[in-house]
Structures are given as C-alpha cells and as structure tokens.
Amino acid sequence: GMAAAPLARKVRPNRVTDTEGLTRALMAIADRESVFTERFYELLFERRPDTRELFGAYPIAEQEEMMRETLRSLATLQEYAAAIDPRAAEPAAPVDGGGWLAENLRALGESHAEYGVTPDMYECYRGLLVECARETAGALFDERAEAALTEAVALVCALMVPQPGPV
C-alpha cells in the first residue's frame, strides 16, 4: 500500500529525496558553522594525518573555504531537488542546475585527485561530516536531518570521485 510508494519512485543519481530534511541539516550546521568546521578538521587530521599536508601555506583559510564549498554544493543539491516536482516521473524540462552541479563537482574532484586526494579519503570525509554535525549542530539536527545529510554527502562524493574511464 502507501508505505511502499517512496521506494517505488525511481531514484535519479543527482537527486536528494528529502529536501526538507536536508534544509534542516544545513540550517543546523550554519548556526554553528565555525565550531563545526574547526571540529571537523580536528577529527579529520586525527584519523587521517596524511590529509593535513594536502592543505597549503594558509591551512585554516583553505579549510574554511573547502568547508564552505562543500556546504554550498549541498545547498545547490537541495535547491535543484526542490525545483523538480517530485510527483513527475521525469522533470518536464531538464533543470540545468543538476547538470551544472555534476560538472562542477566532477572538475572539483579531478583537481582534488591532482592534489593527492584518494577515493578512500572521501569515505572518511563523508562519515566525519555527518558525525561532526551530530556532535556540534544542535537541536535542529534530528534523525531526519541526519538521514538527509548522509544521502546528500554521499551524492556529492559520488559525483566528485573520478570515475575510471575507458582504458
């Protein structure tokens, strides 16, 4: 019956399924962004000391910029998903936002690979982002927000990790 309906809907790769949950997650993080960012990198460097050297001469500024870029990508993903009528099997007209974001993230992923970011670092990054939000993001960050953030971060990472091309 009704309960199965959400699963029946075709999941497209650059779509988040719960835009309200993601909005809540992003608002919760925005409220504590400096604490969130600081704690995130503290945990990242603790677990992956090899990532520390990926940041250049001004590590704090670069870390803050990288986190802003991540949050911006998540917000764009949210806006793009919200712009599509979820009841439509396919969007009536392609919304450029999704294509633009996918292209942008792919390019970003390639530049990260050149800096020495490896696919397994994304795994760590993904898990930590959610864990850190849970730890720092306050009351708005409930189970629904966490589930939506987990999905969105996975999408962003999937779009960034360079796909092995034909040999």
Residues 66-92 pLDDT 10s = 999 999 989 988 887 777 645 544 444
Of the candidates 121, 109, 114, 99, the one whose C-alpha atom is nearest the C-alpha of residue 69 is: 109
Q: Are 43 and 131 in contact (CB under 8 A)?
A: yes
CA 41 and chain centroid, separation: 16
What is the pTM for the complete model shown? 0.78
Q: Are 67 and 40 in contact (CB under 8 A)?
A: yes
> What confidence score (pLDDT) does residue 12 get?
45
